[in-house]
Structure 1
Amino acid sequence: MGQKKLTGQLLVATPTLSGSTFESSVIYMLSHDSDGALGVIVNRPSDVPIERLLPNWSHVASEPDVIFQGGPVSTDSALGLVLISGDGEPLGVRRVSGDVGVLDLDTPAEVVEPAVGGLRVFAGYAGWAPDQLEGEIEEGSWYVVDAEPEDAFSQHADGLWRSVLRRQPGPLALMASFPDDPTMN
Structure 2
Amino acid sequence: MVSLAPGILLIADPFLKDQNFARTVVLLCEHQENKGSFGFVINKPFDQKLSDLVPDVLPGNIPVFYGGPVQIDTIHFIHQQPDLIKGGFEIMKGVYWGGEFDTVVELINSGRLDPNKIKFFIGYSGWSGGQLENELNEKSWILSESNTHIIFEEKNQNVWPQALKNLGSNFAIMANFPIDPLLN
Distance, in Å, in 2 between the alignment partners of 1:27 and 1:16 is: 16
The match for 2:13 is: 14
Q: Which deviates more from structure 2 when the two are superposed, residues 76-85 or residues 6-15?
A: 76-85
**Contact 1:84 / 1:117 at 8 angstroms: preserved in 2?**
no
For 1:174, the aligned partner's letter is I
**Contact 1:91 / 1:111 at 8 angstroms: preserved in 2?**
no
**Contact 2:69 / 2:125 at 8 angstroms: preserved in 1?**
yes
CA gap of 1:116–1:84, structure 2 versus 1, over 3 A, is farther
* Superposed counterparts of 1:23-172, under 5 Å: 23-34=22-33, 35-54=35-54, 65-84=62-81, 90-109=85-104, 110=106, 113=112, 118-172=117-171
**Contact 1:95 / 1:101 at 8 angstroms: preserved in 2?**
yes
What do residues 86-111 of structure 1 show as CA deviations (whole Å, max 9, x unaligned)?
xx794132211111111235341346
Question: Match of 1:108, SS?
Answer: helix
For 2:101, the aligned partner's letter is D
**Contact 1:27 / 1:42 at 8 angstroms: preserved in 2?**
yes
Distance, in Å, in 2 between the alignment partners of 1:181 and 1:39 is: 26
TM-fit CA distance, 1:81: 0.8
The answer to whether the aligner puts 1:178 opposite 2:183 as a matched pair is no
TM-fit CA distance, 1:118: 1.1
TM-fit CA distance, 1:58: 6.2
Question: Higher strand proportion, which one?
Answer: 1
TM-fit CA distance, 1:161: 0.7
**Contact 1:80 / 1:105 at 8 angstroms: preserved in 2?**
no
TM-score by length of 1: 0.83
- State the superposition RMSD in angstroms: 2.6
Once superposed, which parts of structure 1, at least 4 consecutive aligned residues long, lie more than 4 Å away?
Answer: 55-59, 110-117
Q: Which deviates more from structure 2 when the two are superposed, residues 140-149 or residues 154-163?
A: 154-163
TM-score by length of 2: 0.83
**Contact 1:98 / 1:149 at 8 angstroms: preserved in 2?**
no
Q: How many residues align?
A: 177
Q: Which runs of 5+ in 1 are unaligned?
A: none
CA gap of 1:179–1:141, structure 2 versus 1, over 3 A, is same
Q: Once the two structures are aligned, what percentage of the paired residues are identical?
A: 27
Q: Which runs of 5+ in 2 are unaligned?
A: none
TM-fit CA distance, 1:22: 1.1
